[in-house]
């Protein structure tokens, strides 16, 4: 059974970019007769906006993007993330880190598009994670190696060396909460997710997530990263860039635009049709985004 998911961070309502991501994963899963899950990535509580989770769910319903089963809230999963962190620490694949951001900036010798790559200062210090410290993945220690290759269903063959290109990334934050990659990997496995279709802004996350799956002995889903809807100025649509939350009054037009963005060509006689009719039309067409 194919299982896919849409995993929004409830830092605001859906904007056009997140609607595109939701639609792409919905269509891919439903075209294969699979289950489509929604997971609220509210692990990073300071970034969450009160009420945004309910708003996102209401918006999805308005677009007739109906999900299966209960919505999983990451805020209820802290113990599972902590257990995975402890497994990695006990296996010697993760270590506590006491470095501040400014220390990392001054000590770094390599940078990537996200900033300074952690230079490994605390790697062999054996600090205890009992104190409020961050925990990092020891990327060079994973037995299968840190070179990750995968076939992206939308972008083709991908390869990178996680140790070199991203370094020892954070698994657990000093604020005593799981970091994004750990939470996603634990939940994708727990929910039995077999395919991840999401925006290409997350392409860089995938090798780190596959590395973590290997370290934890978890299966790797198939991945496809769809083009990102950008604002007119070329910037990513995001709450930080003040992307407008989609108004709930025009679901048919928004869905039409999202279909067109994904390369679908709804016939003109469906213009103004309900979201359910638009989706029914799209689901009759052969699969476009392939995760095979
Ligand atoms: N929560 C992430 C976001 O909203 C998406 C995570 C994912 O799809 O893996 O950008």
Q: How far is the CA of 182 from the centre of ligand 1 (A)?
A: 12
Q: Which two tokens stand for residue 264?
A: 């679908």
Q: Is 104 in the pocket of ligand 1 (CB under 6 A)?
A: no
Indicate the class that CATH gives domain 92-180.
alpha beta
Averaged pLDDT score across all residues of the chain: 93
User: Which residues in 210-236 are b (16+ Cβ under 10 Å) and which e?
Assistant: bbbbbbbebebbbbbbbebbebeeeee
Give the DSSP per-residue string, 44-57. Answer: SGGG--TTHHHHHH
- The ligand 1 atom nearest the CA atom of 18: 4
Q: At which residue do the structure tokens 């859906």 appear?
A: 14
Q: How far is the CA of 106 from the centre of ligand 1 (A)?
A: 30
Tell me, what's the pLDDT at 233? Answer: 66
Q: What is the pLDDT of residues 37-94, one digit of tens each?
A: 999 999 987 889 999 999 999 999 999 999 999 999 999 999 999 999 999 999 999 9
DSSP code, position 244: P
- The ligand 1 atom nearest the CA atom of 41: 1
Q: Is 7 in the pocket of ligand 1 (CB under 6 A)?
A: yes
Radius of gyration of the chain (CA): 20
Pocket probe mutation, ligand 1, options 11, 47, 71, 198, max atoms within 8 Å of Cβ: 198
Tell me, what's the pLDDT at 137? Answer: 98
> Mean per-residue pLDDT for 198-202?
96
Q: What is the pLDDT of residues 125-137, one digit of tens each?
A: 999 877 789 999 9
- The ligand 1 atom nearest the CA atom of 6: 8
Q: What is the pLDDT of residues 1-42, one digit of tens each?
A: 999 999 999 999 999 999 999 999 999 999 999 999 999 999
Q: Is 142 left (phi over 0), alpha (psi -120 to 50) or beta?
A: beta
CA nearest ligand 1 atom 8, residue: 7
Q: How far is the CA of 7 from the centre of ligand 1 (A)?
A: 5
Query: One fold for both 3-77+184-283 and 92-180?
Result: yes
Kindly tell me if the per-residue pLDDT of 140 is higher than 70: yes
In angstroms, how far is the first alpha carbon of the chain from the final one? 14
Please tell me the distance from the alpha carbon of residue 260 to that of residue 188, in angstroms, as a whole number.
29
Q: Is 10 in the pocket of ligand 1 (CB under 6 A)?
A: no
CA angle 222, 178, 105 (to 5 degrees): 100
Give the list of residues 6+ apart from residue 167 with CB closer than 8 angstroms, or none: 110, 117, 118, 119, 120, 139
Structural domain spans, the chain: 3-77+184-283, 92-180
Q: Is 203 in the pocket of ligand 1 (CB under 6 A)?
A: no
Q: How far is the CA of 126 from the centre of ligand 1 (A)?
A: 32
- The ligand 1 atom nearest the CA atom of 184: 9
Kindly tell me if the per-residue pLDDT of 289 is higher than 70: no
Q: Is 202 in the pocket of ligand 1 (CB under 6 A)?
A: yes
CA nearest ligand 1 atom 6, residue: 7
Pocket probe mutation, ligand 1, options 3, 4, 6, 9, max atoms within 8 Å of Cβ: 9
Q: How many CB atoms lie within 10 A of CB 86?
A: 14
Give CATH superfamily name and number for 3-77+184-283. Answer: HUPs (3.40.50.620)
């Amino acid at each position: 059974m194919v299982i896919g998911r849409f995993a929004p961070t409830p830092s605001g309502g859906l904007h056009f970019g997140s609607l595109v991501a939701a639609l792409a994963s919905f269509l891919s899963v439903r075209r294969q007769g699979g289950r489509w899950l929604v997971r609220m990535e509210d692990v990073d509580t300071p970034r969450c906006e009160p009420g945004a989770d309910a708003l996102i769910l209401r918006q999805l319903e308005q677009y007739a993007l109906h999900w299966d089963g209960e919505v999983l809230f990451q805020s209820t999963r802290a113990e599972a993330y902590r257990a995975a962190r402890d497994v990695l620490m006990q296996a010697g694949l993760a270590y506590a880190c006491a470095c501040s951001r400014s220390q990392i900036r001054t000590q770094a010798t390599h940078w990537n598009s996200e900033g300074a790559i952690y230079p490994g200062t605390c790697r062999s210090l054996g600090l205890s994670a009992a104190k409020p410290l961050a925990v990092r993945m020891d990327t060079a220690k994973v037995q299968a190696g840190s070179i990750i290759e995968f076939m992206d269903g939308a972008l083709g063959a991908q390869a990178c060396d996680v140790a070199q290109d991203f370094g020892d990334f954070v698994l657990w934050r000093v604020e005593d909460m799981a970091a994004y990659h750990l939470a996603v990997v634990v939940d994708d496995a727990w929910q039995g997710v077999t395919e991840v279709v999401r925006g290409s802004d997350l392409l860089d996350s995938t090798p780190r997530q596959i590395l973590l799956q290997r370290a934890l002995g978890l299966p790797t889903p198939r991945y496809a990263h769809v083009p990102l809807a950008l604002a007119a100025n070329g910037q990513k649509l995001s709450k930080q860039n003040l992307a407008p939350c989609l108004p709930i009054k025009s679901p048919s037009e928004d869905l039409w635009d999202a279909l067109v963005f994904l390369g679908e060509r709804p016939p003109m006689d469906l213009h103004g049709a309900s979201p359910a009719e638009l989706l029914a039309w799209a689901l009759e067409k052969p699969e476009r985004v392939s995760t095979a």
